[in-house]
Amino acid sequence: MIELGYAAGFFDGEGCVSVTRIRKRWNTRSDYHQLFASASGVDDRPIILFHESFGGRLTYMKRTEPRHRNYWRWDVCSNEALRFLETLLPRLVVKYEVSKLGIELQKTYIGYDRWHPPPPEILAYRQRIFLDMRKLTNRKVEYR
């Protein structure tokens, strides 16, 4: 089992929290969002620790450019990502705000499904959180 302080530090530096908006299809009533958390690195040891400790998917990624190196990627989505982010949230620094929004977004899916859709105000709230997360993750970094 991975030590949570180490996991939070590694995730702050090498991790990613994202949300994908999936457009309405024939079998859904509205667009929906899927929460993802991932971490990657050239050294497989921390990535394997994440997989063993939090579940999810482990993938070996082959380089696409000659100047790049092969790397390992771990990811979780939806409720697995919710549990992971809730576990690390108190220890996060860099990813704290976006993780908190991701948790908030994923919790809006509890109690709703295809047969019990959420009311329009919940759909609007989800979209607001999605846009807030995009603002946070697309910040410009100023170098001194």
Is residue 142 included in any domain, yes or no? no
Query: 143 lies in a domain?
Result: no
| Secondary structure class of 52 (helix, strand, coil) | helix
Residue 108 tokens read as: 């809006």
Task: Classify residue 85: in a domain, yes or no.
Answer: yes
Looking at residue 113, what is its pLDDT?
A: 81
* Whole-structure pTM value: 0.88
Q: Residue 65 sits in which domain range?
A: 4-137
CA angle at 127 for the pair 124 and 128, rounded to the nearest 5° = 90
Residue pLDDT, tens place only, 2-44:
999 999 999 999 999 999 888 776 655 667 889 999 999 999 9
Polymer length of the chain:
144
- Structurally, the chain folds into a number of domains equal to 1
Does residue 94 sit in helix, strand or coil?
coil
Cα 34 from Cα 79, distance rounded (Å): 9
Cα separation, 91 vs 95, whole angstroms: 10
Tens digit of each residue's pLDDT (9 = 90 or more) over 72-110: 999 999 999 999 999 999 999 999 999 999 999 999 999
Helix and strand numbers, DSSP H then E, in the chain: 5, 4
Q: Do residues 74 and 39 make contact, with C-beta atoms less than 8 angstroms apart?
A: yes
Q: What is the CATH number of the domain that holds 128?
A: 3.10.28.10
**In this structure, how many other beta carbons lie within 10 angstroms of the beta carbon of residue 136?**
14
In this structure, is residue 144 part of a structural domain?
no
- Note whether residue 21 is domain-resident: yes
